[in-house]
Amino acid sequence: MVSVTRAAIAMRLTDYTDYSLRVMLYLALRRDSLATIQEISDAYGVSKNHLMKVVQRLGELGWIDTIRGRNGGLRLAQASLDLSVGAVVRQTESDFALVGCFPDEHGERRNCVIEPQCRLKHALAAARDAFLAELDRHTIGELVQPAGELTGLLGLAPIQFMPRLQPARPAPSREH
């Protein structure tokens, strides 16, 4: 029997990655206004303590801006709207070793008696790569469009987009 890790069976992301993506999406919806960790925690119903670690890491990566002080808060860094979901997953997941013969985050792997002739590891590696390639096709900014329904689900006021003002056209001259 082949020993398979939980990730290979479910291809499940960790809560840390899930929360990282949720924070990024929430801040993308807020755009230019600041949000607090408490607001994000309340909106998603997740632990504020877990989000604090996530926010610290996202700030270290330069994906969110953290503003300290009484009127401080969090906002998405402008370039992060173009960040792929795959990039976020690669930076927040610690282990893509779907089976024991794949190197883990420390470069270690378990020996397997069928490894010299194993085709399973190649199929699993291709599946992992296809999974990440699909996530690379989507950006944080794209995932929050249209914003209306998402903002309602998260208890946010709808984003008001101001129409672009057209420059005034000069009045036609009345020269005869």
State residue 13's pLDDT score. 83
Which residue segment(s) compose the domain that 70 sits in?
Answer: 9-153
* Burial (Cβ within 10 Å: 0-12, 13-18, ≥19) of residue 80: buried
Report how far residue 109's alpha carbon sits from residue 146's, in angstroms, rounded to the nearest whole number. Answer: 44
Q: What is the pLDDT of residues 70-127, one digit of tens each?
A: 888 999 998 999 999 999 999 998 776 666 666 666 666 677 776 777 788 788 888 8
| pLDDT for the residue numbered 106 | 66
| Residue 63 scores a pLDDT above 70 | yes
- Determine, yes or no, domain membership for 124: yes
- What are the tens digits of pLDDT across the range 33-46? 899 999 999 999 99
d(CA 60, CA 73): 15
CATH code (residue 55):
1.10.10.10
β-pair partners for 139: 84
Distance CA 106, CA 95 (A): 9
Q: Which helix (H) or strand (E) holds 67?
A: strand 64-67
> Does 170 reside within a domain?
no
Q: State mean pLDDT over 6-35.
A: 81
Identify the pLDDT of residue 8: 39
Q: How many domains does the chain have?
A: 1
User: Which residues on neighbouring strands pair with residue 16, listed in sequence order?
Assistant: none
The mean pLDDT value for 130-145 works out to 90
Q: Is residue 158 part of a domain?
A: no
Residue range 50-71: average pLDDT? 93
Which is it for the CA torsion 124, 4, 109, 14, positive or negative?
Answer: positive
In whole angstroms, give the CA distance from residue 124 to residue 98.
7
Nearest partner of 40 among 30, 54, 26, 53, judged by Cα: 26
**What mean pLDDT comes out for the span 45-55?**
93
Q: Is residue 1 part of a domain?
A: no
Whether 145 is in a domain gets the answer yes
Residue 2 lies inside a defined structural domain of this protein: no
Pick from 26, 39, 55: nearest CA to 147: 26
Q: Is residue 83 in a domain?
A: yes
Residue 168 lies in a domain: no
Supply 71's token pair: 């009127």
